[in-house]
Every structure is written in structure tokens, then in C-alpha cells.
């Protein structure tokens, strides 16, 4: 990878980390296509997962005191099981069919947030385990787990900070589950990538600090619409097999 290519990825990591802190997802989704330009897809997923995990640990340090433990217990544990299954099946599952079906679901869930209150509806909370499992499964298979997680967390009346903290720790649990499995298969291939990884991780940290500043100045209503709109965009892209 040339210096200019590495600089471009670092700049992208900074900008994306700043923009997606509110949505609760997007760093992995948007960085993976850039890494795919220079690495095999499975190596790219691993490298981005390491950036994703490192940045989530940084975010967790900023927002940990706002964590909603009750939702974590309902949603987080089953997401680990999903991530484990997805990581093991990464090479076997037909990902395109999975992405299209999930994309349609995300579009529906995101649009709900924009409906008038009198006709709006929410997913029953008894379906939280399904959302947790799908989030982990998609993280293990594709590295794109965040949109499902954010769509389900919109069911709860969380503060902006609690939403970010809870989404972040669930993402960390998924990353902790899938990264060791990836490393067992591809550890030798990433040895030369560490300088680029460190630079990308530090760039994402700077972007996260900018994103935190943006979070402080938006209203809760605007925050929820940003999350829902992001879910819809990712859903459309998945349904059209663009990501």
C-alpha cells in the first residue's frame, strides 16, 4: 500500500468515525470496501474488525457511565452466540441472499421512526433475542452487524449517550467473539499490515472525539432520526446488493 493510499484510508477513518458515532454503526461498513482495494475480502474484514474493535473500546471509555445494563443483558448475550456461529460459517453461507432479506427488514424498521406517533409501531421486545442473534450473525459473516442492533435499540426510550454506550458494548462483545476466530485462520497474512492498522485506528479515535462533540449539540429527536435514516440507507444498499 502506498503512502497516499494509506493516508486516504486514515482520512476516511477519521471522517467516518466522526459521522457514524450517532448512528451506532457504519465504520466497518464504510471502511471495508476501501480495504478490499488492497487486500483479499476476508483479510479486509479482519483488518477492519480490529479497527472497529479498537475504536469501540475508545468510545466505551467515553460513554461507559451511560450504559443501560438491562438492555445489555437482553440483547448482548445472544449476540455473542450469533457472532460465533457467523464467524464459523463465514466461508459457507450464501451472503447475498442473507443481505437482501436483511436489507428489506432494515428499510421497514427505519421508516417506522418517521411515521406519525398515531400510526407508528414498535417491534415486540420479546423479539430482542432474534435481533441480538441476527446482529451477531451478520457481524460474524459480513462484518455489518450494527444496523440491526441500532434498529432494535430504537425500540427503547434511551438517551443519546445511553444509546451510544449500549450499542458500543454490544459491538465490542461481537468483535471479541469473531476476531480470534479470524486470527486463527489469517494471522500470518496480516503481519505486514500493522503500521497501517495503527495509523487507521488513531485516525478513527480523532474522528470519534469530533463525533462526540456533534452528539452534544443535537437534540434527542434529531438523533433518533439520524439513526433511523442511517438504518434505511444501509437497508436499501443491502437489498440492492451494493454492500
Q: Is 90 in a helix, a strand, or coil?
A: coil
Q: Which residue would you say has higher pLDDT here, 137 or 1?
A: 137
Q: Identify the DSSP state of 147.
A: H
- All 3 cell numbers of residue 20? 457514524
Q: What is the pTM of this model?
A: 0.75
- Within 37-94, residue ranges assigned H as helices are 41-63, 69-88
Tell me if 211 sits within 8 A of 21, measured CB to CB: yes
Phi-psi region of 121 (alpha: psi -120 to 50; beta: other; left: phi over 0): beta
- All 3 cell numbers of residue 83? 457472532
**pLDDT tens per residue across span 176-223:** 877 887 788 777 777 777 888 899 999 999 999 999 999 999 888 888
pLDDT of residue 82: 79
Tell me if 211 sits within 8 A of 17, measured CB to CB: yes
What separation in angstroms does the CA of 240 have from each of 98, 107, 196?
12, 12, 31
pLDDT of residue 91: 56
With CA atoms as reference, report the closest residue to 47 among 151, 152, 201: 201
**pLDDT tens per residue across span 143-163:** 566 777 777 777 777 899 998
pLDDT of residue 195: 84
Element (H, E) at 183: helix 160-186
pLDDT of residue 204: 95
pLDDT of residue 118: 58
Amino acid at each position: 500500500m502506498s503512502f497516499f493510499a494509506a493516508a486516504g484510508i486514515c482520512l476516511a477513518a477519521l471522517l467516518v468515525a466522526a459521522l457514524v458515532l450517532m448512528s451506532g454503526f457504519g465504520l466497518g461498513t464504510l471502511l471495508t470496501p476501501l480495504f478490499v482495494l488492497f487486500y483479499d475480502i476476508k483479510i479486509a474484514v479482519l483488518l477492519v474488525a480490529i479497527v472497529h474493535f479498537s475504536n469501540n473500546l475508545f468510545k466505551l471509555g467515553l460513554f461507559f457511565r451511560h450504559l443501560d445494563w438491562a438492555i445489555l443483558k437482553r440483547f448482548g448475550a445472544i449476540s455473542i452466540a450469533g457472532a460465533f456461529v457467523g464467524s464459523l460459517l463465514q466461508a459457507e453461507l450464501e451472503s447475498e441472499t442473507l443481505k437482501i432479506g436483511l436489507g428489506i427488514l432494515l428499510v421497514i424498521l427505519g421508516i417506522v421512526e418517521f411515521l406519525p406517533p398515531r400510526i407508528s409501531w414498535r417491534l415486540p421486545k420479546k423479539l430482542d433475542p432474534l435481533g441480538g442473534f441476527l446482529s451477531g450473525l451478520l457481524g460474524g459473516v459480513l462484518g455489518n452487524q450494527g444496523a440491526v442492533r441500532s434498529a432494535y435499540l430504537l425500540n427503547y426510550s434511551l438517551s443519546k449517550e445511553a444509546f451510544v454506550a449500549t450499542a458500543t458494548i454490544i459491538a465490542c462483545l461481537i468483535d471479541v467473539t469473531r476476531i480470534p476466530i479470524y486470527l486463527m485462520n489469517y494471522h500470518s497474512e496480516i503481519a505486514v499490515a500493522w503500521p497501517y492498522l495503527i495509523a487507521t485506528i488513531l485516525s478513527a479515535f480523532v474522528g470519534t472525539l469530533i463525533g462526540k462533540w456533534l452528539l452534544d449539540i443535537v437534540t434527542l429527536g434529531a438523533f433518533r432520526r439520524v439513526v433511523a435514516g442511517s438504518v434505511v440507507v444501509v437497508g436499501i444498499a443491502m437489498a440492492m446488493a451494493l454492500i
